Amino acid sequence: MNHWEDLSNIGSKELVCGYCGVFVASVTGFYRNGIHPNVCSLRICPNCQKPTFFNGYEQVPGIAPGNSVESVPNEVSKLYNESRRCISINAFTASVLTSRKLLMNLAVSEKAETGKSFIFYVNFLAENGYVPPNGKGWVDHIRKKGNEATHEIVDMTREDAVELVSFAEMLLKFIYEFPARIPPSDS
């Protein structure tokens, strides 16, 4: 009979939880009777109590790239986290589209005109001092990628999706997290 067994006595497994993003040592969960727990198991996260499924090297849900950013308005934060989660389930094109929407919203929240193209908003962010001087190469790359995808449906890779999430993370830190952390100047 092939059924699930409690693996509490088998020892702990270190993992980064795909739900809460915390590095934990899980001691509770289940494995398939007759199959080694390293091959197939379900591990409970001691931090958030949610289950992660391991099947060989596959981890579901996977680890979302990027880091959490503080002091971000709810709507923006939702898009950022959605884009990260898309990558964790290999939905790269969906992640890229979500990141683009996020960057557009960000530019509009910083007083850019509405109803423009993605490239317009990337240029707006770059020209208005939201990108550090040595980030120009990065902006050019994102612009080029954005143009490519405007006229045809292009399959996006993990690399494309992770790049945009990193870019969004940097902007969110500049626009929301750091200003909220640094005390206002006394002058």
Q: Which residues bind Zn ion (CB under 5 A)?
A: 17, 19-20, 45, 47-48
By beta-carbon proximity to Zn ion, the closer residue of 20 and 35 is 20
| Shortest distance (Å) from residue 47 CB to Zn ion | 4
Enter the DSSP assignment of 36.
Answer: -
| Shortest distance (Å) from residue 45 CB to Zn ion | 3
By beta-carbon proximity to Zn ion, the closer residue of 7 and 45 is 45
Q: Is 153 exposed, middle or buried (0-12, 13-18, 19+ CB in 10 A)?
A: exposed
CA distances from 99 to 29, 46, 48, 105, 161 (A): 34, 31, 26, 10, 8
| Shortest distance (Å) from residue 114 CB to Zn ion | 38
Using only C-alpha atoms, the chain has a radius of gyration, in whole angstroms, of: 20
By beta-carbon proximity to Zn ion, the closer residue of 19 and 138 is 19
Rounded Cα distance, 48 and 51, in Å? 9
List the beta strands (DSSP E) in the chain.
4-6, 13-16, 23-26, 28-32, 40-44, 51-55, 58-60
By beta-carbon proximity to Zn ion, the closer residue of 16 and 149 is 16
| Shortest distance (Å) from residue 63 CB to Zn ion | 11
